[in-house]
Amino acid sequence: AAPGMAPARQVLCLCVFLCVPLAHSQPIRYSVAEESESGSVVAHVAQDVGLEPAQLGAREARLVSEDSSQYFRLERSTGRLAIRDRIDREELCGQALTCT
Protein backbone atom coordinates (compact mmCIF):
# COMPACT_ATOMS: atom_id res chain seq x y z
CA ALA A 1 0.00 0.00 0.00
CA ALA A 2 1.11 3.55 -0.59
CA PRO A 3 2.56 5.50 2.35
CA GLY A 4 -0.16 6.93 4.55
CA MET A 5 -2.80 4.51 3.23
CA ALA A 6 -4.72 2.40 5.71
CA PRO A 7 -3.50 -1.23 5.51
CA ALA A 8 -7.01 -2.69 5.69
CA ARG A 9 -8.41 -0.62 2.81
CA GLN A 10 -11.34 -2.36 1.19
CA VAL A 11 -10.62 -3.78 -2.24
CA LEU A 12 -13.68 -5.46 -3.61
CA CYS A 13 -17.31 -5.71 -2.75
CA LEU A 14 -18.85 -8.98 -3.78
CA CYS A 15 -22.58 -9.50 -4.05
CA VAL A 16 -23.98 -12.97 -3.64
CA PHE A 17 -27.35 -13.95 -5.05
CA LEU A 18 -28.64 -17.45 -4.44
CA CYS A 19 -31.96 -19.08 -5.21
CA VAL A 20 -33.39 -18.94 -1.72
CA PRO A 21 -36.89 -18.14 -0.48
CA LEU A 22 -38.07 -14.60 -1.18
CA ALA A 23 -37.52 -13.61 2.45
CA HIS A 24 -33.80 -14.02 1.80
CA SER A 25 -33.69 -12.55 -1.71
CA GLN A 26 -31.70 -9.45 -0.74
CA PRO A 27 -28.09 -9.44 -1.96
CA ILE A 28 -25.39 -10.21 0.57
CA ARG A 29 -22.31 -8.03 0.30
CA TYR A 30 -18.83 -9.05 1.35
CA SER A 31 -15.72 -6.89 1.46
CA VAL A 32 -12.15 -8.06 1.09
CA ALA A 33 -9.20 -6.28 2.67
CA GLU A 34 -6.39 -5.23 0.36
CA GLU A 35 -3.56 -7.74 -0.07
CA SER A 36 -5.52 -10.70 1.36
CA GLU A 37 -3.71 -13.93 0.62
CA SER A 38 -4.83 -16.69 -1.70
CA GLY A 39 -7.02 -19.16 0.17
CA SER A 40 -8.25 -16.59 2.72
CA VAL A 41 -11.86 -17.25 3.67
CA VAL A 42 -14.14 -14.32 2.83
CA ALA A 43 -17.38 -15.76 4.19
CA HIS A 44 -19.40 -18.86 4.95
CA VAL A 45 -22.04 -18.36 2.26
CA ALA A 46 -24.20 -21.37 3.08
CA GLN A 47 -24.48 -20.30 6.70
CA ASP A 48 -25.18 -16.67 5.73
CA VAL A 49 -28.16 -17.66 3.59
CA GLY A 50 -29.43 -20.35 5.96
CA LEU A 51 -28.50 -23.42 3.92
CA GLU A 52 -26.50 -26.53 4.66
CA PRO A 53 -23.29 -26.69 2.58
CA ALA A 54 -24.59 -29.74 0.69
CA GLN A 55 -27.54 -27.68 -0.50
CA LEU A 56 -25.16 -25.36 -2.41
CA GLY A 57 -24.15 -28.30 -4.58
CA ALA A 58 -27.74 -29.45 -4.99
CA ARG A 59 -28.72 -25.95 -6.13
CA GLU A 60 -25.66 -25.83 -8.42
CA ALA A 61 -24.37 -22.66 -6.77
CA ARG A 62 -21.56 -21.01 -8.72
CA LEU A 63 -19.71 -17.73 -9.05
CA VAL A 64 -20.21 -15.61 -12.15
CA SER A 65 -18.07 -12.63 -13.11
CA GLU A 66 -18.91 -9.89 -15.61
CA ASP A 67 -15.47 -10.13 -17.23
CA SER A 68 -14.79 -13.87 -16.72
CA SER A 69 -12.15 -13.12 -14.06
CA GLN A 70 -12.32 -15.52 -11.16
CA TYR A 71 -10.91 -13.82 -8.07
CA PHE A 72 -12.86 -16.07 -5.72
CA ARG A 73 -13.81 -19.72 -5.40
CA LEU A 74 -16.90 -21.21 -3.83
CA GLU A 75 -16.26 -24.44 -1.98
CA ARG A 76 -19.65 -26.05 -2.34
CA SER A 77 -18.78 -28.90 0.01
CA THR A 78 -18.09 -26.51 2.93
CA GLY A 79 -20.05 -23.42 1.90
CA ARG A 80 -16.95 -21.23 2.14
CA LEU A 81 -16.16 -18.38 -0.23
CA ALA A 82 -12.39 -17.97 -0.51
CA ILE A 83 -9.90 -15.87 -2.45
CA ARG A 84 -8.58 -17.77 -5.48
CA ASP A 85 -5.48 -15.61 -6.06
CA ARG A 86 -4.07 -12.60 -4.24
CA ILE A 87 -5.96 -9.53 -5.42
CA ASP A 88 -3.94 -6.52 -6.56
CA ARG A 89 -6.08 -3.43 -6.00
CA GLU A 90 -3.90 -1.10 -8.09
CA GLU A 91 -4.06 -3.51 -11.03
CA LEU A 92 -7.85 -3.66 -10.82
CA CYS A 93 -8.77 -0.07 -10.00
CA GLY A 94 -5.70 2.12 -10.27
CA GLN A 95 -5.90 5.08 -7.90
CA ALA A 96 -9.70 5.11 -7.55
CA LEU A 97 -10.87 5.62 -3.96
CA THR A 98 -13.46 2.86 -4.18
CA CYS A 99 -12.91 -0.40 -5.96
CA THR A 100 -15.91 -2.61 -6.67
HSE of 14, CA atoms in CB hemisphere, 13 A: 23
CA distances from 22 to 18, 19, 50, 58 (A): 10, 9, 13, 18
Q: CA of 71: how far to CAs of 14, 65, 81, 83, in Å?
A: 10, 9, 10, 6
Of the two residues 68 and 12, the one the predictor is more confident about is 68
The predicted-structure confidence for 35-93, as pLDDT tens digits, reads as follows: 788 899 999 988 888 888 888 888 888 887 777 778 888 888 898 999 988 877 788 78
Q: Which residues pair with 57 in a beta bridge?
A: none
Identity (one letter) of the amino acid at 78?
Answer: T
- How far is it, in rounded angstroms, from Cα 100 to Cα 87? 12
Indicate the DSSP class of residue 22. G
Query: pLDDT for 20-40, tens place per residue?
Result: 444 445 677 888 887 788 899
Q: What is the pTM of this model?
A: 0.66
> What pLDDT score does 80 carry?
92
Structure confidence at residue 22 (pLDDT): 41
Asked if CATH classification 3.30.565.10 holds for the domain at 34-89, the reply, yes or no, is no
Question: Which pLDDT band holds residue 7 (cuts at 50, 70, 90)?
Answer: very low
Domain coordinates of the chain in residue numbers?
34-89
Helix (H/G/I), strand (E/B), else coil: 43: strand
Q: Are strands 28-33 and 72-75 parallel, antiparallel or unpaired?
A: unpaired
pLDDT for res 25:
58
pLDDT at 14: 54
